[in-house]
Amino acid sequence: MSSLFRIVTRKALYGLPVVALGATVLVGAQGQVALAEPPLTVEDAKAQIEQHEAEAAGLDQEYNDVKLEIKDAEKTLAQKQKNLKAQRSMIEKLKKIVGQVALANLQNQSLGTTAQLFLHADTDRFLSQLSTVEKITQNQNSALQNYQEQQAALVSLEQSATDDLKALESQRDDLKKIRKEAQKRVDDAEAILTRLTAQQREQIENEEAQESEDSERAASQASDDDSDDSDSGDDSDDSKSEDDSASSGSGKGAQVLAWALTQKGKPYVFGADGPSSYDCSGLTLKAWGKVGVSLPHSSSKQFKMGTPVSKDNLKPGDLVFYYSSSRPSHVGIYAGNGQVFHAPNSRKPLGYSSLDDMPYVGARRYG
C-alpha cells in the first residue's frame, strides 16, 4: 500500500479534512524543475496546522488501540505457553506408558503361558502379573491412539503459539511505525510555522491565546451560574430532579471535571496517561478513574462505552468525541457553557476549547 493511499485512507477513517497544498513550478537554467512553496496566509497556515495535528491525534489513538491489542495478545500467548508446558508434560507421561506396554508385550511373547507358569517361583504373583499384562495388551491400541492424538494436539498448539508470537512481533513493529508517522505530522505542523513571518506567528499565538481565554471565561461563567442557582434555590423544595442536579454540576461528572482541572497547564504527550503529561484519552481515563469508572486508553473504545448523550443535554464531566463516529480520534471533557477541557496537541497544554472547535460526533456519560 502506498504512503499516499494510507494517508488518504486514514483521513477518511478519522473524518479528517484534506487541505490542498499549492506550489509554484520553477524551471532552472538547465531545464531542471523545482517546486517552490507559495507564501501562506495566516488562515491557510492555521488550517494546515490543524490538519496535521488532527492526523497526529488520530495516530496517537491508533497507537493506543494497538497497545491494547498487544496487551490482549500477550495474555493469550502466555496462556498458550502455559498450555504447551502442560501438554508436553502429558506427552512425556503417555510416552512412558506406551513404552511400558511395548516392553511388556515383547517380554511375554517369547514363552508360552504354561512355560512361564512352570518357571515362575511365585505362582500367585505370576498370575497377577499376567492378568495385568493381558489388560495392558487389550488397551495397547487405545493408549497408542491417545498418545498420537495428544502429540498432534501438541504440534497444533506449538504452531498456534508460533503464529501468535509472529503476529505480536508484527504489532510491535506497527507501534514503531505509527509513532514515527505521528512525529512526522508534528514536524509537518512545525514546518508550516517556520514558513510564516514573525508577525504571522505572533498573530497565531495571540489568536490561540485569546480563544483559550474566552473558553476558560465561558466555562468559569457556567460554574458561577450553577453556584448562584444552587444558593438561590427554594428552601421549601426539599427535592431536586435528576436533571436539575446534573445541570448544576453535581455527582460523578462534576468530580471528574474538578479533578481534570487540577491538571490544567500540563503538557500533551503522545500516548501518556499521567501523572505529569497526558494525551486526550489518557486524561479522560484518569479523570473517570478517580470516581471508580474504568475506561480503556482509547478514544474509540471509550466511545463504545457508557450512555449516549445528546448535544443539547450535555452535563459537566460528560465525554465528547470528535472527527469520526465510527472511530473517534479525539476526546475531551465537557466543562459547561459550550466548552470542553482536554489535552489538545503537542503545541498546547491541557486547557479549554470551544465545543465546536473540532468536528463533533457524539458524547457519552458513565457511572
At CA 146, angle to CA 145 and CA 148, rounded to 5? 65
* Chain length of the chain: 367
The answer to whether the CB of 175 falls within 8 A of the CB of 70 is yes
| Confidence at residue 166, expressed as pLDDT on a 0 to 100 scale | 92
| Stretch (H or E) spanning 14 | helix 3-14
Residue 183 is predicted with a pLDDT of 93
Q: Name the residues annotated as catalytic.
A: 280, 330, 342
- Give me the domains of the chain, ranges plus CATH numbers: 198-227+246-365 (3.90.1720.10)
C-alpha cell of residue 225: 451560574
Helices (H), 195-310: 198-231, 242-247, 251-261, 280-289, 299-303
Distance CA 87, CA 106 (A): 29
The pLDDT, as a whole number, for residue 148 is: 82
φ, ψ dihedrals at 38, nearest 5°: -75, 155
The model scores a pTM over 0.75: no
What pLDDT sits at residue 138?
Answer: 57
Got the DSSP string for 145-160?
HHHHHHHHHHHHHHHH
For residues 349 and 29, give the distance between their C-alpha atoms in angstroms, rounded to a whole number.
Answer: 48
Q: Exposed e or buried b for every residue in 142-163, given b needs 16+ CB within 10 A?
A: ebeeebeebeeebeebeeebee
Using CA atoms, how far apart are residues 329 and 360, in angstroms rounded to an integer?
11
Query: Which parts of the chain have pLDDT scores under 50?
Result: 1-9, 20-26, 111, 117-118, 232-250
Q: Which three cell numbers stand for residue 71?
A: 496487551
Eight-state DSSP code of residue 278: B
CB 168 within 8 A of CB 74: yes
